[in-house]
A = this chain, B = another copy of it.
Amino acid sequence: MNMNEIKIFSPATVANVACGFDVLGFCLDSVGDEMVIRKVDKKGVKITKIEGFDLPFESQLNVAGVSALAMYDAVKPDFGFEIEIHKNIKPGSGIGSSAASAVGSVFGMNELLGRPFSKTELTQFAIKGEALASKCEHADNLAPAVFGGFTLVKSLSPLEILQIPSPPNLYATIIYPQIEIKTSESRAILPKEVKLQDAITQWANFGSLIHSLHTDNYELMQKSLHDVIIEPYRSKLIPHYYEVKNEALNAGALGSGISGSGPSVFSLCEGIKAANNVRDAIEKVYSKTGIEFDIYVSRINTEGIKVL
């Protein structure tokens, strides 16, 4: 590997985080994609290798390609880039697979270009790639991948991302039941209007969650990780959702919720031991269902995407 080539780790992420629907996310470190970005003489952006999952090679049809092209068109360099994608995060699993791809190419290119762009600008380019996958612009998986830790996407236009601190001993357990949830369905199932009283409960919990992250207050985190708006709808799309959640809470999770639009389910835990207990409890539930699943335990990755 020479100085014109860079290998990176682009992490999986959890978006929504219970009461933080559409705005909060956090970054994982035990699962993520690897990508190689290479500076080449030939102009343009070319995807030269894709491993792991079957995804399109045409840059305009590939999430990593689209975000790369957005940056490329902004820079207009007299050279080009090649992208290799070693995909570990299954598309559609609900832990930011497309976000990892979208962020990976622009992060790597930015490194090879001498870092002309800020993290917020990288996210802005990545939004273009993410939009290819999700048909709308959002950044709640992108921001934690780029910044690490917990991020709050305060607004999309202008893009404003806040880094929220988190206690050092916070871990996540993620179960990915290998079923497919159509994005269109997970969106269509949401109500257009919600009760004012529920909205108030949600923002009380959300403000409280932000406060708990600032104050390393696990007990308060536990009391705050509730979603009274989205969960009642989307949980229907995830088999055995409440069983998983109840067992996770019984096993010591601070809170559980749908990761992104599912089907993955996250649990936040104080310490690795609790996270492993929660993993065992969830495994027990899901091994009876006949549904294939993956399960991960990860500390909160405060670094985010990085050069390997």
Contact = CB atoms under 8 A, between A and B. Distances in A.
Contacts of A224: 154
A285 interface: no
Interface stretch (A18-26, A44-52, A81-89, A238-246): A18-26
A251 interface: no
Nearest to A155: B204
B160 A199 contact: no
A157 B220 CA distance: 15
Interface stretch (A95-103, A124-132, A168-176, A208-216): A208-216
Contacts of A22: 200, 204
A190 interface: yes
Interface residues of A, number: 37
A208 B19 contact: no
B207 A24 contact: yes
A194 interface: yes
B208 A154 contact: yes
A143 to B, nearest CB: 12
Contacts of A190: 196
B200 A23 contact: yes
A269 to B, nearest CB: 21
Contacts of A199: 194, 199, 202-203, 229
